[in-house]
Structure 1
């Protein structure tokens, strides 16, 4: 199914495809502001919402409540430290079988899923032990 994207959506998607990390809407706005035809922050949010509904952009909510966006390349799984915010990718996924079953039993097309564990990383744990 081909989607008719706006120029703004194409610009946001193109930027996300070049990034090695997830970006907040504010980060995207700042990066696109540097070019000849800047986008407004509301336009960035609308574009991200449309791309998310299309299933080509994934959103994660960090421990601090901030939403970050990236291109959907694969399901994303992380362990995130609630103290320093470090996010460590997890490469294994126990949910693929469940995802397949849910799609069949509920007649629901799943674009992606996330799995997030929150806790305290080793560096923060060691820092707390220092007198």
Structure 2
């Protein structure tokens, strides 16, 4: 039986749907305060964790260690530059068939997956080349 959501969880989920983009817990906290909705940062984190475990929110961790949260929509895949932090979405899913196989073979309900490739974007590669750095 699914646990009832708290008022804080409902407010955070509604805000994530409104924002329609991935945001950090700190950004959610600031946005809630700007809307005169008092909620502690610890409550924001606890609510996000509960919504993640329920399978309605997904989290993506950047190379910097920052976590970004969004409503569960679809799997996310990115190319992320380690130099400037630019993140380029990949629109095709190279592991969709693997996900289906894993669900069947392990009787495991997968809510979502992320796939992240880390390296250097073209402008950062050009800047390194201009500075004489070889990678």
Separation of aligned partners in 1, 2:37 and 2:19: 20
Aligned to 1:101: 101
Q: Could you report, residue by residue, the CA deviation over 1:60-79 in whole angstroms, capped at 9, with x for unpaired residues?
A: 11011111111110000001
Q: CA deviation at 1:129?
A: 2.3
- CA RMSD after TM alignment: 1.4
Give the alignment of 1:109-120 within 5 angstroms. 109-120=109-120
Partner-residue secondary structure (3-state), 1:23:
coil
The runs of at least 4 consecutive aligned structure 1 residues that moved more than 4 Å come to none
Is contact 2:16–2:71 with CA below 8 Å preserved after alignment? yes
Partner-residue secondary structure (3-state), 2:88:
strand
Is contact 2:79–2:118 with CA below 8 Å preserved after alignment? yes
Give the alignment of 1:20-39 within 5 angstroms. 20-39=20-39
Count how many residue pairs are aligned between Structure 1 and Structure 2.
131
The answer to whether structure 1 residue 128 and structure 2 residue 128 are counterparts is: yes
Aligned to 2:71: 71
Alignment gaps of 5+ in structure 1: none
Give the alignment of 1:6-21 within 5 angstroms. 6-21=6-21
Give the TM-score of the pair, scaled to structure 1.
0.94
Q: Could you report, residue by residue, the CA deviation over 1:45-93 in whole angstroms, capped at 9, with x for unpaired residues?
A: 0000000000111111101111111111000000100111111110101
Q: Could you report, residue by residue, the CA deviation over 1:79-124 in whole angstroms, capped at 9, with x for unpaired residues?
A: 1001111111101012111111111111110000011000010111
Give the TM-score of the pair, scaled to structure 2.
0.91
